[in-house]
Amino acid sequence: MSLTQSPLDSWLPRVPLGAWTEAAVDWATASLGPFFDGVATVVETLVRPLDDLLTGVPAVVVVLVLAGLGWWLRGWKFAIGTAVGLGLVAGMPYWEETMSTLAQVLVASTLALLMAIPLGVLVAENRRASAVARPVLDLMQTMPAFVYLIPAIFFFGIGTVPGVLATLVFSMPPGVRLTALGLRQVDKEIVQAAESFGAPPWMVLLRTKLPLALPTIMTGVNQVIMLALSMVVIAGMVGAGGLGKVIMFALSQIEVGSGFEGGIAVVILAVVLDRLTDSAGDRFPSARAQRLAREAA
C-alpha cells in the first residue's frame, strides 16, 4: 500500500465492500442456522461412513479393487502401475490419511457434479441463465482457493464439513462449463432430425443431446475430481484431516520427510483418479453416442 495519497484518490468514494460482505455473513449465520446445521449433518452422514469403510478394510483390498478397475478401463499395464503406486502409499505411514482424503474427494466431487451437470444443461438451453452464470463462474474460478475457507469456517466451524463444502464450491465451475460446452457442440442436424420425428424437448435432451455430449461431460467430471483433490489438501488448514493435515503439520514443523511422503501420496492418488476418470470417458466414444442418437431419432 502506498503511504502517500494522491489528490485524485481523495475525491474517489470508498466502497465498503468488505463491510457489506461481513454484514451478509453475519446475517446468514444468525438467520440460517438451522439450514447450515442440516447441511453439515448431510455432509457428515455422507463422509463418515465412506471414510470408515475405506480406512476399515485392509489396504490390500482397496489396492486390488482399484487395480482391477484400472485393468478393466485401461488394461493390465495401468493395473500394475496402480497396484505399485498404491502399494507404495500403503507402505508409508499415511494410508488412513490417504483414504480419508479419497473419501472427502469422492463426496465433494459427487455433490459438485449433482449440481454442476443440471446447471450446465440449464446454461446450455437458456440464454438468460447463461448470461447470469458466466460472470458467477468467472468469479468462482478466479477467486483464490484460500478465500473459500473463510465463510466455510464462519458457517460450519472447524472440521471436515467446511473443508468438503469449500471443495465443492471450488471444484464445481468446470463441470458446469464443460457440460454446457458439450451440449452446445452437438450436431444441430441430428437434433433437428430428432425434433422432426415429434420428440418432445426432454426426450431430445436425454436421448440425443446428452449421449453426444457425454465425452465432454466426462472431461468435466475429470476436472472436477482433480480440483477437488487439490482443494481437499488446502482444506487441511481448517481441520479437514487427511493428507492436508499431514502436509500442513510438516510445513509448520519443517519436516521435509513427512511432507515429501504426504506429497507423493497426493500425486499417486491424483494420477490414479485422473486416469480412471479419463478412461471412463473413453468408454463413451462419439461413434457410440451418434448411434444412440440415431436410434432415438
CA 97, 100, 104 angle in degrees (round to 5)? 140
Task: Report the helix count and the strand count for the chain, using DSSP H and E.
Answer: 15, 0
Question: Which residue reads 437434433 in cell numbers?
Answer: 191
Among residues 284, 241, 290, the alpha carbon closest in space to that of 262 is found at 241
Helix (H) or strand (E) segment spanning residue 197: none
Give the count of beta carbons closer than 10 Å to the beta carbon of residue 98. 25
DSSP 5: -
What is the pTM (predicted TM-score) of this model? 0.83
d(CA 197, CA 178): 28
Contacts of 12 (CB under 8 A, 6+ apart): none
- CA–CA separation, 162 vs 23, rounded Å? 20
- Alpha carbons 152 and 39: distance in angstroms, whole number: 12
Residue 64 has pLDDT above 70, yes or no: yes
pLDDT in tens, 181-233: 998 888 888 878 877 777 787 888 888 888 888 888 888 898 999 888 888 77
Segments making up each domain of the chain, as ranges: 57-91, 95-296
Mean pLDDT of 18-36: 79
What homologous superfamily does CATH list for 95-296?
MetI-like (1.10.3720.10)
**pLDDT tens string 103-155:** 999 999 999 999 999 999 999 888 898 889 888 888 888 888 788 888 788 78
